[in-house]
């Protein structure tokens, strides 16, 4: 079977929050996955939907697969770069705030 992949790197969301959304659509048909993402109230849904659209477009345009038979074979979130920022604290000192980013990988295949 043909597997088609799309990756989004340096997504501005923490991996933990993104995994909540990603776990909901794993193994689902593509149309069903888009419906779930549309009605889920999480900010990272837009980023996940963008990657899923890219994977579907790759499958349809590059590999001539049927969009109605596609399903989400694999989807996972990995840790990416961490941005470190300073937050002012008392007496002129500062705390380091770590802003985490994630990589989202989607693999679609035909049933």
pTM of the predicted model as reported, rounded to 2 decimal places: 0.89
Q: Say if residues 25 and 95 touch (Cβ distance below 8 Å).
A: no
Residue 57: the pLDDT is 94
User: For the segment 85-105, what is each residue's pLDDT rounded down to a tens digit?
Assistant: 999 999 999 999 999 999 999
Provide the domain count of the chain: 1
Q: Residue 7: which of 110, 111, 109, 108 has the closest Cα?
A: 108
Residues 1 and 111: their CA atoms lie apart, in Å, by 9
Sheet holding 94-110, edge to edge: 3-11, 94-110, 70-88
3 state DSSP class of 66: coil
User: For the segment 34-74, what is each residue's pLDDT rounded down to a tens digit?
Assistant: 999 999 999 999 999 999 999 999 999 998 998 999 999 99
Domain enclosing residue 10, as ranges: 3-110
Q: Say if residues 31 and 25 touch (Cβ distance below 8 Å).
A: no
CATH number of 58's domain:
3.90.470.10
Tally of residues, the chain: 111
Task: Write down the residue that tokens 């776990």 correspond to.
Answer: 23
Residues 20 and 23: their CA atoms lie apart, in Å, by 6
pLDDT at 1 over 90: no
Residue 23: the pLDDT is 94
Residue 44: the pLDDT is 94
Q: Say if residues 95 and 86 touch (Cβ distance below 8 Å).
A: yes
């Amino acid at each position: 079977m043909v597997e088609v992949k799309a990756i989004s790197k340096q997504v501005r969301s923490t991996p933990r929050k993104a995994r909540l959304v990603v776990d909901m659509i794993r193994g689902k048909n593509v149309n069903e996955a888009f419906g779930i993402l549309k009605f889920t109230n999480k900010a990272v849904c837009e980023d996940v939907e963008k990657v899923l659209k890219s994977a579907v477009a790759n499958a349809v345009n590059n590999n001539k697969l049927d969009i109605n038979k596609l399903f989400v074979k694999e989807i996972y979130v990995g840790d990416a770069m961490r941005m470190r920022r300073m937050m002012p604290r008392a007496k002129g000192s500062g705390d380091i705030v770590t802003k985490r980013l994630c990589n989202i990988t989607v693999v679609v295949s035909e049933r």
